[in-house]
Amino acid sequence: MSKRILVMGLPGAGKTTLAEKIVDLIQTDGKTITWLNADDVRKKFNDWDFSPEGRIRQSIRMRELADASGTDYAICDFVAPLTEMRNNFKADWVIWVDTIREGRYADTNKMFVEPEVYDFRINEQNAEKWSEFITHYILLDQRRPVFDWKKETVQMLGRWQPWHDGHRALFERLILRTGQVVIQIRDVQGWQGSNPFAIEQVNTFIKRDLDPLYQGQYQIQVVPNIIHIGWGRGVGYTAGEETFDENITSISATKIRRSLGIG
């Protein structure tokens, strides 16, 4: 049976362009693949019903066509805004193209439920780059890393109000130490008359930035407003400040908040 690849996301996010590049790379490797585009399938079956029931019917149809393809892989690009649609399709690989905040159809934007489970999350429209990254994993049948709670890990504590490029640089420095990081978010919304972002917003900022490359190599934890870390002697871990050049140290969350017109 074909391995099913779902390329999902809002209309206009770049699903079809990415799918086309993946098809080319898989065929170049000598494998067979069927490409099912949602609009082409709807046209073939003359089914333009975009109600929840019509969308669910379309997801079942896409699954059936993928299973009947007889090729090594079947790649399907369609919005799949509902969790039930993704469950119906039962993808072996889920690629979430998360490059835009809103698509061109208000009804689709309203019903779109962000997936909680996916193999790849793409946040920029660069099909050349990300198709190679994704296809590498698919052809090797290699899954993304899974966070290991017993493995030596680096802790990264902060307010992240908001998460920015300087924080990303720190994360990329720290992950080189052990291969995985726990990012701890201090619960500080409104503290000292500033820190405007809620925990859920900060979580979203971090995941959208890190998931494309580092999915499975970090975990996010919410912690109280910690202002001091202490330990006894011989505890088996260390603490230290990382230094960066002016391009990184000059990045200021305070300035970013001011540019956004918030405290």
Q: What is the CATH number of the domain that holds 10?
A: 3.40.50.300
The dihedral through the CA atoms of 73, 140, 15, 96 has a sign that is positive
Task: Tell me the one-letter amino acid at 59.
Answer: S
Per-residue confidence (pLDDT) for residue 137, from 0 to 100: 96
Question: What's the pLDDT tens digit per position in 109-154?
Answer: 999 999 999 999 999 999 999 999 999 999 999 999 999 999 999 9
Q: pTM for this one?
A: 0.86
The residue written with tokens 């505890």 in the block is 235
Instruction: Tell me the C-alpha to C-alpha distance, in Å, between residue 88 and each of 23, 33, 51, 64, 81.
Output: 23, 20, 16, 10, 12
107 & 164 share domain:
no
- Which of the listed residues 140, 166, 195 is the one where a domain comes to its end? 140
Do 34 and 130 share a domain, yes or no? yes
User: Do 184 and 241 have their domain in common?
Assistant: yes
Find the domain containing 174 and state its range. Answer: 154-259
Mean pLDDT of 61-71: 97
Task: Name which of 216, 86, 83, 212 is nearest 143 in CA terms.
Answer: 216
Distance CA 199, CA 184 (A): 11
Asked if the structure places residue 147 within a domain, the reply is no
Question: For 72-108, how does the pLDDT look when each residue is reduced to its tens digit (9 = 90+)?
Answer: 999 999 999 999 999 999 999 999 999 999 999 999 9
Share of the chain above pLDDT 90, in %: 89
Number of domains in the chain: 2
The answer as to whether 223 is a domain residue is yes
Q: For residue 180, give the CATH number of its domain.
A: 3.40.50.620
Residues 60 and 82 in one domain: yes
